[in-house]
Amino acid sequence: MAYRTIKGTHDILPEEIHRWQQLENVVHSIAGHYGYNEIRTPVFEDTGLFSKSVGKDTDIVSKEMYSWEDRSGGHLTLRPELTAPVVRSFIQHNLGVRSPLQKLYYIGPLFRRERPQKGRQRQFHQFGVEVFGSEHPEQDVEVIALAHHIFKELGIKDISLKLNSIGSGDCRRNYRSALIKFLTPFKDDLSETSQKRLETNPLRILDTKIPHEKEIIQNAPSISDSWTDEDKSHFESVQSLLSGLNIPYELDEHLVRGLDYYTRTTFEFVSEDLGAQDAVCGGGRYDNLVEMLGGRPTPATGFAAGMERILLSMVTSEQTDGRESIYLINLGKAVTMKALQMAQELRSNGITVYMDTKRRRLKAQLREANRLGTKKAVILGEEELKNNRVQVKDLLKGEQEEIAMDQLAKYFIV
């Protein structure tokens, strides 16, 4: 075969689409209950948007972006994440003026040139939320509760919430110095990437996946020692509000998240049955990003959840949509027009109608009706057309009855 999907990308086939739609419906419905509005932004943006916000020395920007130079010389990138595009849109359209508390959610594809493996693709999908305008802990908790609610609704078990606070400006600066002081003696044991990060962004070393680096950071100073009083009380409120909602969490001092723009609360939902790629959802507060990208200082918080990983651990309900479906068996060219008209009328009344367009024989159409699992077939042949009647066959019981054509919709709607 000449053309196949590109490495790390997948077709979502009809047999899987039910699960996707189920997940999407839950996201729309629950985000709606929390008063969030959907936002859709383009799949490509100015490269600078990502290098500036996500950070130059992150994996995403340094090696995972699909970027190219446009014919007019602009530098464009397929979006590797959606927070920066949503922030761009928030600033561009003055959304903060329209509503002092903007609550947005999104669903869409993202692109990262990573090594493909289970739960890791080059085109993948996320849903997420971004809220602009509140610096208070109840906003962090509402966002976490929303994610938690969606996972519960989807029947995802064995999922746990990890929580940390990486503080604000002063705290980050102090902790940065403390971490550099602690890590410098181990410099030669660190990977090349971490050695570089020691100078550019030492906090990111805490995010390492290399076992011997993990061992080293076991004894690293704790960020909680660098919290300001405000950071501390903010984080204590987040915790007590979560407890008040009966949302269990574990504190994780090393949870700094991969991207540069976070402040204070950071969190991650991990699913025990996913193996190595266990992070289902990551998020937190990012009070400086709007200003960094040229907007008015605006506190913000949000999360992004990986849909492929959620689907791997989601309990799917049976694919019965409860709709009555009918197979319209039509026999011969002479009845085509009438068959199409009948199908349209039934469909306008909310009934699912399958209709043969391959001009197959009666037996083949019956076989198809059974394969599709329809319970009733309507048979229209030349004889029926002449008498303005059709046969209705109960495919389970095998019984058949004749009814007047103009009674058909009524017959099925009851």
Task: Judge whether 282 and 255 are in contact, CB under 8 Å.
Answer: no
Q: Distance between CA atoms of 22 and 155, rounded to whole angstroms? A: 12
Q: Is 279 near ligand ATP (CB under 6 A)?
A: yes
Q: Is 114 near ligand ATP (CB under 6 A)?
A: yes
Residues 27-46 that bind ligand ATP (CB under 6 A): none
Q: Is 140 near ligand ATP (CB under 6 A)?
A: no
Q: Distance between CA atoms of 166 and 282, rounded to whole angstroms? A: 14
- β-pairing, 159-165 with 250-251? parallel
Q: Is 226 near ligand ATP (CB under 6 A)?
A: no
Q: Is 203 near ligand ATP (CB under 6 A)?
A: no
Q: Which stretch binds ligand ATP (CB under 6 A): 114-122, 135-143, 318-326, 330-338?
A: 114-122
DSSP labels, 137-173: HHHHHHHHHHHHHHHHHTT--SEEEEEEE---HHHHH
Q: Which two tokens stand for residue 265?
A: 């609360």
10 Å CB burial of residue 391 (0-12, 13-18, 19+) is middle
User: Binding residue for ligand ATP (CB under 6 A) from 96, 137, 167, 282?
Assistant: 282
User: How many other CB atoms are found less than 10 A from the CB of residue 264?
Assistant: 26
User: Binding residue for ligand ATP (CB under 6 A) from 152, 258, 325, 381?
Assistant: 258
Say what the alpha-carbon torsion angle 202, 203, 207, 209 is, to the nearest 10 degrees.
Answer: 20
Phi, psi of 4 (to 5 degrees): -135, 170
Q: Which stretch binds ligand ATP (CB under 6 A): 29-37, 189-197, 299-307, 314-322?
A: 299-307
User: Binding residue for ligand ATP (CB under 6 A) from 120, 162, 176, 375?
Assistant: 120
Q: Is 309 near ligand ATP (CB under 6 A)?
A: yes
* Nearest distance from C-beta of residue 414 to ligand ATP, angstroms: 46
Comparing every residue's Cβ against ligand ATP, the nearest one is 306
| CA-based nearest residue to 144, from 308, 283, 348, 294 | 283
User: How many other CB atoms are found less than 10 A from the CB of residue 22?
Assistant: 16
Q: Which stretch binds ligand ATP (CB under 6 A): 29-37, 150-158, 195-203, 302-310?
A: 302-310
* Nearest distance from C-beta of residue 278 to ligand ATP, angstroms: 8
Q: Which is nearer to ligand ATP, 96 or 119 (CB)?
A: 119
Q: Is 81 near ligand ATP (CB under 6 A)?
A: yes
Site string for ligand ATP, 83-112 (x = CB under 6 A): -----------------------------x
* Nearest distance from C-beta of residue 18 to ligand ATP, angstroms: 20
Q: Is 133 near ligand ATP (CB under 6 A)?
A: no
Task: Judge whether 389 and 402 are in contact, CB under 8 Å.
Answer: yes
Q: Is 148 near ligand ATP (CB under 6 A)?
A: no
Q: Which residue has the tokens 């340094």?
A: 62
Residues at the contact surface with ligand ATP, assessed by CB under 6 A: 81, 112, 114, 119-121, 124, 126, 258, 277, 279-282, 304-306, 308-309
